[in-house]
Homo-oligomer: A and B are copies of this chain.
Amino acid sequence: MKSVTVYDIAKEANVSVATVSRVLNNTAPVKASTRERIQSLINKYQFQPNALARSLIKKVTGMIGIILPDITNPFFPEVLAGLEQEARKQGYTFFLCDTGSSNLDIKEQYKRETQYLNILMEKQVDGIIMIGGRIDLHKCSKEMAKEVAEINKRVPLVFINGNLPGAKFHRVVIDEEAGGRMVTEHLIGLGHRDIAFIGGYSQMSNTVERLQGFRMAMERAGLPVREEWIDHGGFSVQRGKNMMGRLLEMDTVPTAVVCANDLVGIGAIKAAVKSGLQVPRDVSITGVDGVPLAASVIPELTTMSLRCLELGRAAASVLHGLISKSGDVQTLTILQPELVIRESTSVPMQKEA
């Protein structure tokens, strides 16, 4: 299984390795006849230069690492697709590091992030993108933040939708608060006054911010926020079902429910339907994320599009800027979410009596 090297090619072509390298990289003129001779040998042996050796000397690998919590959550593949689209143009290849939050206790997840961060460093990636995990924590521990800050000094790093204290990171984020606010305003505009907010985790900044937006919209409209209608308990369909179920058992129920993400929104719809309610006739429900899935349910979910693809593309482009030191890279890129009105929201039913 001896693989062929530039030396083999050089010998058979009666040239030096330097010349072979030259035709490989087009880095200096080579006589046409020589070049052809070499090229045909390359084809003959299907020679592929060893990227390890090349990178070792060039100090560039063309690899970027992406660390995310759960590839199974449709939000991430969507972002990933955007990342890929942009990064491929620049010739990068991806290391996918899934810390597998879905079936892990949280500490284990952060440990994996650390592991992957180290592995990526060792593999000499040109840059790293982080999304989810510890950077989504509303209050991240000093040590965990420090680890990342340390990495940030050594290699280009960009966050998607998150942040960490103790250093200025390059970030591409969606305006979460605006998202929470806009979707709530949509509901208020429809005539709703009794609105709940469910889903997410109170220790995560996206949840905090979306809720913040929700409160702001309510306040501006002069509507009271009923704290018993605010429930954090996760981001999955199942959790959404549970939370909505709980809501529906209360003495007074809201006419509209803002869900922290699309999955919860879908769960909420399922719970509502199961309770014999019609959506949106009896209760309006909204999500946040804008994953394709949200358009696949019945009724189609009104949601805030977090513009996943663009998020991914923007992050890739910022990272590329950092890697290629093109000077003009923004530290903070903020994208505005977009309200997508579909079928799960409508005017509230007339209050009886």
**Inter-subunit contact B297/A298 (CB<8 Å):** yes
A103, chain B: closest CB distance, angstroms: 8
**Inter-subunit contact B78/A72 (CB<8 Å):** yes
Which residues of B are found within 8 Å of A201, using beta-carbon distances?
A: none
The stretch that binds B, out of A27-35, A159-167, A265-273, is A265-273
The stretch that binds B, out of A53-61, A129-137, A244-252, A315-323, is A53-61
A233 at the interface (CB under 8 A from B): no
Q: Give the complex CA separation of A94 and B98 in angstroms.
A: 9
A141 at the interface (CB under 8 A from B): no
Which residues of B are found within 8 Å of A48, using beta-carbon distances?
A: 118, 121-122
Q: Give the complex CA separation of A46 and B76 in angstroms.
A: 31
**Inter-subunit contact A296/B266 (CB<8 Å):** yes
Q: Give the complex CA separation of A295 and B238 in angstroms.
A: 10
Q: Give the complex CA separation of A154 and B53 in angstroms.
A: 18
Per-residue interface assignment for chain A, residues 86 to 125, with 1 indicating a CB less than 8 Å from any chain B CB and 0 otherwise: 0000000111111010100000000000000011011110
Which residues of B are found within 8 Å of A50, using beta-carbon distances?
A: 56, 122, 124
Q: Give the complex CA separation of A203 and B247 in angstroms.
A: 49
**Inter-subunit contact A93/B266 (CB<8 Å):** no
Which residues of B are found within 8 Å of A72, using beta-carbon distances?
A: 77-78, 81, 292
Ranked 7 nearest A-B pairs via Cβ? A96-B96, A51-B122, A71-B77, A52-B56, A94-B96, A51-B123, A52-B52
Which listed residue (B71, B85, B95, B118) contacts A95, Cβ 8 A? B95
Which residues of B are found within 8 Å of A118, using beta-carbon distances?
A: 48
Question: What are 18 of the A-B contact pairs (CB < 8 Å)?
Answer: A48-B122, A50-B56, A51-B123, A52-B55, A52-B124, A56-B56, A71-B71, A71-B77, A71-B81, A72-B81, A77-B77, A85-B100, A93-B95, A93-B97, A93-B123, A95-B95, A263-B296, A269-B298
Q: Which of A286-305 contact B (CB under 8 A)?
A: 292-293, 295-298
If the complex has contacts A56-B56, A93-B95, are A296 and B297 also in contact, measured as CB distance less than 8 A?
yes
Closest residue of chain B to A274, judged by CB?
B298
A84 at the interface (CB under 8 A from B): yes
Closest residue of chain B to A153, judged by CB?
B1
A150 at the interface (CB under 8 A from B): yes
